[in-house]
Amino acid sequence: MLAAEKWYTYQESYQKYGLDMRPAEEKRIRTRVEKDAVISVQDKLRLLILVVVLGALFVGFVAATAYGAKIQYNINTIQAQSDEVQGEIENLHVKIKSATNIQTIEEKAMAMGMVYPKITEYVYINGGEEEPVKDFALALMEQAYN
């Protein structure tokens, strides 16, 4: 059997099931040629203005980004200086705490020649009473402000 005859046999068997085996016809695509393919002066001017506006817009974006980066750098520098000063403040607080510690004060007083008073050198504050006052802080405050 020739190849063409086989083809027609196959085509008939496919047509039973509703399939058309004929090759599809090529559609002719018609291209429409415009008469006025030249860009007018007014369109060229519009394109030029559009390019200039877009260029200015992009330059503005770059400038805004650079300005933002500069501000962020300044913020980071000031933050670093602030952290450094905060560390110095914390060190000074530690020095103040250690300098006002009761043991440190006692050592410095002993080094300068101060001694503890003897039992006979104690002075009791009493408001004309013979018994010592139970609330010493309150009695001291009353004497100081009266």
HSE toward the beta carbon, residue 19, CA cutoff 13 A: 7
* Ranges 7-16, 92-101, 125-134, most confident: 92-101
> Residue 59: in which H helix or E strand, if any?
helix 41-99
Asked if residue 114 lies in contact with residue 126, where contact means CB atoms within 8 angstroms, the answer is no
Rounded CA separation 80/22 (Å): 81
pTM attached to this predicted model = 0.43
Give the pLDDT score at 21.
Answer: 59
| Cβ-count burial 118-133 (b if 16+ within 10 Å, e if not) | eeeeeeeeeeeeeeeb
**pLDDT class for 115, splitting at 50, 70, 90?**
confident
Query: Can you spell out the DSSP letters for 14-39?
Result: HHHTT---SPPPPPPPPPPPPS--SP
Who's near 132: CB < 8 A, 6+ residues apart?
A: 124, 126
pLDDT digits (tens, 9 = 90+) for 14-61: 777 766 656 667 777 666 655 556 788 999 999 999 999 999 999 999
Give the pLDDT score at 80.
Answer: 96
Give the pLDDT score at 70.
Answer: 97
**pLDDT class for 5, splitting at 50, 70, 90?**
confident
Better pLDDT: 107 or 14: 107
Rounded CA separation 117/114 (Å): 9
